[in-house]
Amino acid sequence: MSRLFGTDGVRGVANGDLTPELMLQIGRAAASLLPDGDHRPILVGRDTRISGPMLEAALVAGITSVGRDAISLGIVPTPAVASITRATGAAAGAVISASHNPIADNGIKFFGSDGFKIADDLEDRIAAALSTELPRPTGTAIGTARVAQNLGRHYYDELYAGNVDLVGLHVVVDCGFGAAYAIAPYALRKLGATVTEINCEPDGSRINVECGATDLRGLQAAVRAQREAGVKAVVGVAFDGDADRVLFVDETDAVVTGDHILYALACSMQSRGELAGGAVVATVMSNVGFERALRARGIGLIRAAVGDRYVLERMRAGGYALGGEQSGHVIDFRHNTTGDGVRTAITLLGVVAAQRSTLHDLVAAVVYAPQLLVNVRAERRDIIERTAVRTAIEHAEAALGDSGRLLVRPSGTEPLIRVMAEGDDPNLVEEVVRRLAWQIEQEVARFASP
């Protein structure tokens, strides 16, 4: 039986895999198992997806049905839930979102009272409790549900910390019709930036569709248009659906990935004596060009498995302050306990402004080695263990030799096998990835045959 909670909570097609009935059960089980402590409430936030209100209603019903109180934060970024939970001393925070996934999907994940995602063993206990008999109080023992009153100020306090001055910067902000639609433009303006908004409406019918951090082409065009109109020092910022990720477009329309962001922040933190452990935690997906740039600055790279929870584990275990993923999920313990797209944008732009540099120059030392990622749809995660696939992987690794790197892994959030290779020879990288992806497709088809 597969685990209910994946690498980033429970996800599935809303009203298909993730039904209101299941959300009700999750709410009941979680509220029964999450620490209470003086009857502290559970906070609930969501992104803009159409299915969000439906699933939120079911979750809140489940929470209150076992006698716990729930406070709805409304549409807020995932990191805002972590921040507000920690600041208010709430029992826990729940986020209803599927992050960067398609419109039809939704999900749920929980933060503990400390603002960190709850542990795997607690997730497993919640999953096991779905089929058990749980309390059903009556009368005044039933939990209460209410809407938050000005709790968002705690997140704004985090965003404004450090006296960042963005005066003189022009920023094009693409919120991908997601959870940062109001907060990100407002905060950037408050800190002095001139802001041009695109896709900054709470339209869950368009979340992540050819916009935001999942598709930067529109942002690149908007930055280019501003530059051609004579605007100087213009950069672009893009968030995914729940704003725990951020990517940038620099002054030349080039994409600034999570690797570039981590490099710039690490260098800044190193110069200020704030880079705990003298290293950055990233994943096996981070490009070797990023690793080389860090090494040239005397900064170490600790690689973790793909998934922000694994980055977080390595950071906490090793006492590191900065970590993240190539996708733009950046964790900076100076400010929050989880990936925080809006705060990362403010911090990086603050470095640009303080150094009187350009974003392009700030990350120029990260020269990517050719890298190719191909996704193969596969319902079975263990398809990569089949003999033909293992043999193909061995041949691919041999072909790359010491000049390249291969990674084959199942996605933690979607029914995909991800095939990634990188090396100094782009033709070889493409050949290796295409051939291996084809072999996996053949095995998927063979497995599906009657």
Task: Dump pLDDT digits (tens) for 199-237.
Answer: 999 999 999 999 999 999 999 999 999 999 999 889 999
Number of structural domains, the chain?
A: 3
Predicted confidence (pLDDT) at residue 138 exceeds the cutoff of 60: yes
Let me know whether 82 and 142 are in one domain: yes
For residue 3, is it within any domain? no
| Closest to 126 (Cα-Cα) out of 30, 240, 35 | 30
**Paired strand residues for 416:** 377
Give the side-chain half-sphere CA count within 13 A for 57: 6
For residue 31, is it within any domain? yes
For residue 409, is it within any domain? yes
**CATH code for the domain of 377:** 3.30.310.50
Read off φ and ψ for residue 375, nearest 5 degrees.
Answer: -100, 130
Let me know whether 381 and 286 are in one domain: no
Residues 6 or more apart whose Cβ sits within 8 Å of residue 356: none
Let me know whether 50 and 35 are in one domain: yes
The answer to whether 99 is a known catalytic residue is yes
Tokens of 119: 């542990």
For residue 1, is it within any domain? no
Tokens of 123: 């997730």
Last residue of a domain, one of 343, 362, 381: 362
Let me know whether 89 and 206 are in one domain: no
Q: What average pLDDT does range 385-394 have in this prediction?
A: 92
Last residue of a domain, one of 332, 362, 392: 362
Last residue of a domain, one of 135, 154, 173: 154
Let me know whether 174 and 67 are in one domain: no
C-alpha distance from residue 151 to each of 83, 84, 162 (Å): 10, 7, 21
* Amino acid sitting at position 437: A
Q: List pLDDT tens digits, range 64-119.
A: 999 999 999 999 999 999 999 999 999 999 999 999 999 999 999 999 999 999 99
C-alpha distance from residue 359 to each of 234, 253, 282, 363 (Å): 9, 11, 21, 7
Let me know whether 394 and 322 are in one domain: no
Q: List pLDDT tens digits, range 359-375.
A: 999 999 999 999 899 99
pTM of the model: 0.89
For residue 4, is it within any domain? no
Q: List pLDDT tens digits, range 159-195.
A: 999 989 999 999 999 999 999 999 999 999 999 999 9
Let me know whether 233 and 168 are in one domain: yes
For residue 313, is it within any domain? yes
**359 contacts 248 by C-beta, under 8 angstroms:** yes
What pLDDT score does 37 carry? 66
Please measure the distance between the N-terminal and C-terminal CA atoms of the chain and give it in whole angstroms.
Answer: 22
Residues 6 or more apart whose Cβ sits within 8 Å of residue 214: 100, 176, 208, 240
Let me know whether 214 and 334 are in one domain: yes
**Paired strand residues for 406:** 421
- Distance between CA atoms of 197 and 195, rounded to whole angstroms? 6
Catalytic residue among 97, 99, 268, 327: 99
Let me know whether 319 and 421 are in one domain: no
Let me know whether 289 and 398 are in one domain: no
**Segment 145-150 long-range contacts (CB within 8 Å, at least 24 positions apart):** 145/60, 145/63, 145/64, 145/69, 145/70, 145/71, 145/72, 146/69, 146/70, 146/71, 146/72, 147/71, 147/72, 147/74, 148/43, 148/71, 148/72, 148/73, 148/74
For residue 5, is it within any domain? no
For residue 214, is it within any domain? yes
Q: What average pLDDT does range 432-437 have in this prediction?
A: 94
Let me know whether 255 and 198 are in one domain: yes
pLDDT category of residue 1 using cuts at 50, 70 and 90:
very low
**CATH code for the domain of 105:** 3.40.120.10
Q: List pLDDT tens digits, range 35-53.
A: 876 689 999 999 999 999 9
How would you write the chain as a 3-class SS string? Answer: CCCCCEECEEEEEECCCECHHHHHHHHHHHHHHCCCCCCCCEEEEECCECCHHHHHHHHHHHHHHCCCCEEEEEECCHHHHHHHHHHHCCCEEEEECCCCCCCCEEEEEEEECCCCECCHHHHHHHHHHCCCCCCCCCHHHCCCEEECCCCCHHHHHHHHCCCCCCCCCEEEEECCCCCCCCHHHHHHHHCCCEEEEECCCCCECCCCCCCHHHCCHHHHHHHHHHHHCCCCCEEEEEECCCCCCEEEECCCCCEECHHHHHHHHHHHHHHCCCCHHHEEEEECCCCHHHHHHHHHCCCEEEEECCCHHHHHHHHHHHCCCEEECCCCCEEECCCCCCCCHHHHHHHHHHHHHHCCCCHHHHCCCCCCCCEEEEEEECCCHHHHHCHHHHHHHHHHHHHHHHHEEEEEEECCCCCEEEEEEEECCHHHHHHHHHHHHHHHHHHHHHHHCC
- Distance between CA atoms of 442 and 420, rounded to whole angstroms? 18
**108 contacts 96 by C-beta, under 8 angstroms:** yes
Predicted confidence (pLDDT) at residue 30 exceeds the cutoff of 60: yes
What pLDDT score does 416 carry? 92
Q: Which domain holds residue 78?
A: 10-154
Read off φ and ψ for residue 346, nearest 5 degrees.
Answer: -65, -45
Predicted confidence (pLDDT) at residue 309 exceeds the cutoff of 80: yes
| Closest to 132 (Cα-Cα) out of 28, 46, 44 | 28
C-alpha distance from residue 362 to each of 159, 268, 444 (Å): 22, 10, 44
- CB neighbourhood size of 131 (10 A): 8
| Closest to 236 (Cα-Cα) out of 227, 228, 187, 244 | 227
Let me know whether 292 and 356 are in one domain: yes
What pLDDT score does 449 carry? 57
- Distance between CA atoms of 55 and 73, rounded to whole angstroms? 14
